[in-house]
Amino acid sequence: MTRRLLIVLVNTDPRNPEELAAPFYHAAIAAAMDYPVDVVCAATAGKLMIKGVAEKIRVKPSDPKTVLDWIREAHEHGARFWACPANLDLFEVGESDLIAECSGLMGAASMIRDIMEEDCRVLTY
């Protein structure tokens, strides 16, 4: 039986805001259903874990809700967010530059290990 959900944002680009609501909405729903949810933000999507980035993006320009609000909603339901450690070097930031909702770093080996577990299902965006 599936016990947890791993959401990997690797093809999602913050420059395309319309791509950003679905993964965080799905994370919030799964967490609200009491599934353990981990969201890994890698590649360009990793910028969303940096302070000041997600709070400036709106999925729909007329909506007051920012992408940071979407992240916070999922986090409040229990979803955990992870930054890719390679992104820290790529974007020249440190762990102290990550948003409060980010639980820390999840590297490629940990992510692959989790993906290969029988009790894990994966959604990628």
Cα-atom radius of gyration of the chain, to the nearest Å?
14
Query: Which pLDDT value is given to residue 2?
Result: 66
Q: Count how many domains the chain has.
A: 1
Helix (H) or strand (E) holding 124: strand 120-124
The whole-number average pLDDT for the span 48-62 is 96
Q: How many CB atoms neighbour CB 118 within 10 A? A: 7
Mean pLDDT of 96-111: 97
The pLDDT score that the predictor gives to residue 110 is: 96
Query: Could you read off the pLDDT of 17-29 as tens digits, one per residue?
Result: 999 999 999 999 9
C-alpha distance from residue 104 to each of 17, 26, 98 (Å): 24, 21, 8
Domain containing 14: what range? 4-124
Reported confidence tier of residue 104, pLDDT bands at 50, 70, 90: very high
Each residue of 2-19: pLDDT tens digit? 689 999 999 999 999 999
* pTM passes above 0.85: yes
Q: Which of 50, 124, 54 is nearest to 90 (CA)?
A: 50
Q: What CATH number is attached to the domain comprising 41?
A: 3.40.1260.10
